[in-house]
């Protein structure tokens, strides 16, 4: 099928992109890698009078480490993150996730900005960004604001981005001390979206107890789930197998899976329990070894 008719803009820089976004308001949709948006438009699940293609905005395309953070321009592809030598080893969850997003063809086109802005509950980067305490930089023609990943995902396919704003950058603070993170997902076949996914980040204190925990779940509800009860449960405990197992049960109480093509809700909760256990143990191991 072909999409409905639309006016196409291809700004060559950020100033022009922000001007077009401001002028077009809710009429316009931004196009990044097109891996989610174009199928929606071609199948006519969605149509937009105006498309603003960001592929020519080179200022949004970079990976750097600066001021204690990893900085990802919104138009950086997930394939570039996967292959980049600049991603610090201490960001284990990000490294785990990027090589398991779809397949190389999708990763060569799909961007980190598009992955989070699409806010598909099955997308992997929302949970990873929450676990890694990322900040999203949202710019408009005059001014910018920052929104924590934890507060960004409002509902299925709905984020905190307001009319006239663009996501321009993702800032991921480099962990200090004994911090480790991981992202684990279970798929039916290579290249599939997950049946369930778990991102966790743990900081251990001098006695090996969990001093900070951030945990988020993929494909287990209408949007990415911040597993706040699981985080509270983990605090002050040693990350032993029994604790990791119980964390899986607490997380199962927070998940809201439904039956679908990928399995029954009950099956997904079983997958979640196992992934949570493995993710907690792996994050703790990385934290103890100081490898993130
Ligand atoms: C076969 C297939 C399998 C896939 N499997 C997975 C998977 O396993 N895991 C996974 O995480 N993803 C998966 N995806 C999705 C893929 O990662 C997409 O690339 C991603 O969801 C969207 O990124 P994009 O750059 O293509 O964005 P687009 O499709 O261009 O845009 C997506 C949405 O984000 C908005 N947007 C994009 N950039 C910005 C910006 N800078 N500011 C404001 N709004 C913006 C657009 O307006 C649109 O609403 C899969 C896709 C396909 C086709």
3-state secondary structure of 149: helix
pLDDT at residue 181, rounded to an integer: 98
H-run or E-run covering 276: helix 265-289
Please give the distance, rounded to the nearest whole angstrom, from the Cα atom of residue 232 to the centre of ligand 1: 31
Please give the distance, rounded to the nearest whole angstrom, from the Cα atom of residue 52 to the centre of ligand 1: 15
Q: Are 196 and 219 in contact (CB under 8 A)?
A: yes
Find out whether the beta carbon of 166 lies less than 6 Å from any atom of ligand 1.
yes
Please give the distance, rounded to the nearest whole angstrom, from the Cα atom of residue 50 to the centre of ligand 1: 18
Given the structure tokens 């598909």, which residue do they identify? Answer: 120
Report whether pLDDT(113) > 70. Answer: yes
The residue whose CA has the least distance to atom 10 of ligand 1 is 123
Taking the C-alpha atoms of residue 155 and residue 225, their distance in angstroms, rounded to an integer, is: 10
pLDDT tens by residue, 10-30: 999 999 999 999 999 888 999
The CB-based long-range contact list for 261-267 (8 Å cut-off, 24+ gap) reads: 262/188, 262/192, 262/193, 262/194, 262/195, 262/219, 263/195, 267/195
Taking the C-alpha atoms of residue 215 and residue 226, their distance in angstroms, rounded to an integer, is: 6
Q: Are 245 and 163 in contact (CB under 8 A)?
A: no
pLDDT at residue 292, rounded to an integer: 63
Report whether pLDDT(236) > 80. Answer: yes
Residues in the chain: 292
* From the candidate CATH numbers 1.10.3470.10, 3.30.2350.10, 3.90.600.10, 3.30.390.50, the one assigned to the domain spanning 179-289: 3.30.390.50
pLDDT tens by residue, 163-190: 999 999 999 999 988 999 999 999 988 8
Find out whether the beta carbon of 74 lies less than 6 Å from any atom of ligand 1.
yes
Report whether pLDDT(252) > 90. Answer: yes
Question: For residue 241, what are its two tokens?
Answer: 């197998």
For the ranges 41-45, 94-98, 153-157, 279-283, which has the lowest average pLDDT? 41-45
For the ranges 38-47, 140-149, 273-282, which has the lowest average pLDDT? 38-47
pLDDT at residue 25, rounded to an integer: 86
> Which fold, 58-173?
3.30.465
Predicted TM-score (pTM) of this structure: 0.97
Please give the distance, rounded to the nearest whole angstrom, from the Cα atom of residue 110 to the centre of ligand 1: 6
Find out whether the beta carbon of 110 lies less than 6 Å from any atom of ligand 1.
yes
Report whether pLDDT(290) > 80. Answer: no
Find out whether the beta carbon of 77 lies less than 6 Å from any atom of ligand 1.
no
pLDDT at residue 291, rounded to an integer: 65
Taking the C-alpha atoms of residue 254 and residue 245, their distance in angstroms, rounded to an integer, is: 15
Taking the C-alpha atoms of residue 188 and residue 166, their distance in angstroms, rounded to an integer, is: 34
- Between the two ends of the chain, the Cα-to-Cα distance in Å is 45
Nearest in space to 162 (alpha carbons), one of 176, 149, 147, 174:
147
* 191: confidence class by pLDDT, cuts 50, 70, 90: confident
A 10 A CB-CB count for 184 gives: 23
Nearest in space to 116 (alpha carbons), one of 77, 152, 80:
152
Taking the C-alpha atoms of residue 198 and residue 272, their distance in angstroms, rounded to an integer, is: 7
Question: For residue 206, what are its two tokens?
Answer: 């001098």
Find out whether the beta carbon of 17 lies less than 6 Å from any atom of ligand 1.
no
Question: For residue 290, what are its two tokens?
Answer: 């100081």
For the ranges 117-121, 248-252, 286-290, which has the lowest average pLDDT? 286-290
Find out whether the beta carbon of 35 lies less than 6 Å from any atom of ligand 1.
yes
Nearest atom within ligand 1 for CA of residue 166 = 42
Q: Which residue has the higher pLDDT, 33 or 188?
A: 33
pLDDT at residue 195, rounded to an integer: 97
Please state the φ and ψ torsions of residue 180, each to the nearest 5 degrees.
-140, 150
* Residue range 7-56 in CATH 3.30.43.10: yes
Same fold? 7-56, 58-173: no
Enumerate the domain spans of the chain: 7-56, 58-173, 179-289
Report whether pLDDT(36) > 70. Answer: yes
pLDDT tens by residue, 127-171: 999 999 999 999 999 999 999 999 999 999 999 999 999 999 999
Given the structure tokens 């079983």, which residue do they identify? Answer: 270
């Amino acid at each position: 099928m072909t999409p409905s008719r639309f006016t196409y803009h291809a700004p060559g820089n950020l100033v022009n992109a922000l001007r077009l976004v401001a002028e077009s308001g809710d009429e316009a949709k931004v196009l990044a890698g097109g891996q989610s948006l174009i199928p929606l438009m071609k199948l006519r699940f969605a149509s937009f009078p105006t498309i603003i293609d960001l592929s020519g905005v080179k200022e949004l395309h970079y990976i750097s480490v600066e001021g204690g953070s990893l900085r990802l321009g919104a138009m950086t592809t997930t394939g570039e993150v996967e292959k980049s030598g600049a991603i610090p080893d201490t960001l284990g969850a990000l490294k785990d996730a990027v090589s398991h997003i779809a397949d190389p063809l999708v990763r060569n086109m799909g961007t980190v900005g598009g992955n989070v802005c699409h806010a598909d509950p099955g997308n992997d980067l929302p949970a990873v960004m929450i676990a890694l305490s990322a900040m999203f930089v949202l710019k408009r023609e005059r001014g910018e604001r920052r929104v924590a990943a934890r507060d960004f995902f409002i509902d299925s396919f709905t984020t905190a981005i307001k009319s006239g704003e663009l996501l321009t950058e993702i800032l991921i603070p480099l962990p200090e001390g004994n911090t480790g993170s991981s992202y684990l997902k279970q798929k039916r076949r290579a290249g599939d979206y997950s049946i369930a996914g778990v991102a966790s980040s743990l900081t251990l204190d001098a006695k090996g107890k969990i001093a900070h925990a951030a945990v988020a779940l993929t494909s287990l509800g209408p949007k990415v789930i911040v597993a706040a009860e699981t985080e509270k449960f983990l605090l002050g405990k040693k990350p032993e197998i029994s604790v990791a197992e119980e964390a899986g049960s607490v997380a199962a109480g927070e998940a809201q899976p439904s039956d679908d093509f990928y399995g029954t809700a009950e099956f997904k909760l079983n997958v979640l329990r196992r992934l949570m256990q493995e993710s907690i143990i792996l994050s703790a191991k990385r934290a103890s070894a100081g490898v993130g």
